[in-house]
Amino acid sequence: MDWIKKAANKAKELAHEHDAPLQQQHQQQQQPLGQPTPGPPSEPVQTDHITTRLRLTGPQQSNFPHVFRDGGGGGTVSGKHLIIFADGMYTKGKPPTDPSLIVSFVSNSIAVAGDAGSTPSLTRVTDVGTPARGPDQAVPFLTEQGETQMGTAVWPNHNIATLPGTNGTVGIAYSEVIDRDLFRKQKFALLYNTPIEIRLDNTGRAVVSRPVKSLFVVGEPMFGSFAIVYPELMPNGGDGYLYLFGRVSEAANPQSNGLKLARVRPQGWADRSQYEFWDGQQFGPKMPEFNDGGAASVFRYSQEGFGKHYGPGAGDIWWSAAHGSYIMLFQNGAAALDDSIYLSHSKSLTGGWSKPKCIFKIPHFDDGFSYCFHAYPNMELTGRVVPISWTQDSKSRSCKIYTGEVLFS
């Protein structure tokens, strides 16, 4: 992700610029609207009782014309399908491989799926911002608590869940916070994850708040940063708990790689003391160790690549009433090595997950790779056509979101 390193340097300059009058800023016309034509479906893949095909629907487009970004994940708040992204660039028309082309930079952003006033579509998003400066930043920095625009990144790479008891008006998620200096030096940079609350104001704009700075810290599973099970996509609307998955990847013991599970009552979602953790047999107050050999894992998965072993990278989990199972779609943590989309299913969140099966290979550019895979089951509640996205990295074309659909039968 060389573009992010360049972007961080450019951001240092942008952080000290004063906005010029609108007529003096770089002017860009909004992107013409229209829907791409989906490609043909792939050959069917049978995974036990689940049959899948996949079709590509092309690069995602914004109402602002030259947005380059990564990350992803979505949910529905107050009836609107929201997509949340990590680092984003707005340029003068070309990829931000040359920092001089960058107009603005944000650590994260939120858009609405589809064009304003139209049917929701993952291939089109409506960003909030200005044509002169591009998308606005969504998740704020806590500068009074030591975070800075240059030293810190708030990177969403997760879904958004509706908070039960709020009539769908409050979405919650768990973004990871990164030390940018360590990242530039290609060192392990994760600091902690932070719980975020998303509401819509009276104009329909997503407003994000952070009730506490951090929830889980480096050395612990980042519960919620892999996936929260969307309550509306659970049998009978769930059991009153929020269920949060934390990925373990690159553990010292490869047997530890996989997913761990926590749960919390909705009123305690931002209070660490209210969480219960699965220990392999039951939920209790003691958090399992990150490198426990998989003793507390509900899903074990590890793949070798680049001389290391990697667990799950990014994905989503939901209940499919059509198949009577929870379904997990994910990419592994060695995304630069493996372009596979994997499917696993289970009757229970706490275990019994099937052996992951590749249902599709994401195409990629010769000078890049794919990562940050996500599914959006909240956009199609029958579970028959589930939109998906991933980030396509390219040294010559930078990073953009690409989209597709998984067809279930």
Task: Reply yes or no on whether the pLDDT at 219 is more than 80.
Answer: yes
The residue ranking higher by pLDDT, 231 or 6, is 231
Strands in 291-339 per DSSP E: 299-300, 303-305, 308-310, 312-320, 325-332
Residues 6+ apart with CB under 8 A from 316: 73, 159, 227, 328, 329, 330, 374, 375, 376, 377
Report the run of H or E that residue 7 belongs to, with start and end: helix 2-15
Q: DSSP class of residue 403?
A: E
For residues 394 and 3, give the distance between their C-alpha atoms in angstroms, rounded to a whole number.
9
Burial class (CB in 10 A: 0-12, 13-18, 19+), 332: buried
Q: How many CB atoms lie within 10 A of CB 43?
A: 7
Q: Could you identify the residue written with the tokens 């995602």?
A: 60
Q: Are 247 and 225 in contact (CB under 8 A)?
A: yes
Supply the mean pLDDT for the chain.
89
Residues in a beta bridge with 398: 394
Confidence of residue 144 (pLDDT cuts 50, 70, 90): very high
Would you state the pLDDT for residue 26? 36
- Most confident range, picked from 16-30, 118-132, 347-361, 368-382: 347-361
Would you state the pLDDT for residue 5? 52
For residues 396 and 98, give the distance between their C-alpha atoms in angstroms, rounded to a whole number.
10
Would you state the pLDDT for residue 36? 66
Task: Reply yes or no on whether the pLDDT at 158 is more than 80.
Answer: yes
The residue ranking higher by pLDDT, 325 or 383, is 325
3-state secondary structure of 273: helix
**How far is Cα of residue 318 from the mean position of the Cα atoms in its chain?**
15
Would you state the pLDDT for residue 373? 96
- From residue 130, alpha-carbon distances to 49, 90, 138 in Å are 48, 11, 14
**How far is Cα of residue 311 from the mean position of the Cα atoms in its chain?**
16
Would you state the pLDDT for residue 14? 46
**How far is Cα of residue 101 from the mean position of the Cα atoms in its chain?**
26
* pLDDT (average), residues 326-335: 92
* pLDDT (average), residues 318-334: 94
Task: Reply yes or no on whether the pLDDT at 178 is more than 70.
Answer: yes
**How far is Cα of residue 180 from the mean position of the Cα atoms in its chain?**
19
Task: Reply yes or no on whether the pLDDT at 3 is more than 50.
Answer: no
For residues 114 and 120, give the distance between their C-alpha atoms in angstroms, rounded to a whole number.
4
Would you state the pLDDT for residue 7? 47
Q: Each residue of 85-102: pLDDT tens digit?
A: 999 999 999 999 888 899
Picking from 245, 262, 250, the residue whose alpha carbon sits closest to that of residue 344 is 245
Task: Reply yes or no on whether the pLDDT at 21 is more than 70.
Answer: no
Confidence of residue 34 (pLDDT cuts 50, 70, 90): low
Least confident of 23-27, 212-216, 242-246: 23-27
Beta pairing class for 61-62 and 124-127: parallel
The residue ranking higher by pLDDT, 149 or 201, is 201
Task: Reply yes or no on whether the pLDDT at 279 is more than 50.
Answer: yes
Q: Are 200 and 77 in contact (CB under 8 A)?
A: yes
For residues 319 and 345, give the distance between their C-alpha atoms in angstroms, rounded to a whole number.
9
Would you state the pLDDT for residue 35? 61
**Two tokens at 298?**
């509900």
Q: Each residue of 186-217: pLDDT tens digit?
A: 898 999 999 999 999 999 999 999 999 999 99
Task: Check: pTM over 0.85? Answer yes or no.
Answer: yes
Q: Which CATH superfamily is domain 2-11+43-408 in?
A: Glycosyl hydrolase domain; family 43 (2.115.10.20)
Picking from 330, 326, 365, 320, the residue whose alpha carbon sits closest to that of residue 346 is 326
* pLDDT (average), residues 330-343: 90
Task: Reply yes or no on whether the pLDDT at 18 is more than 90.
Answer: no
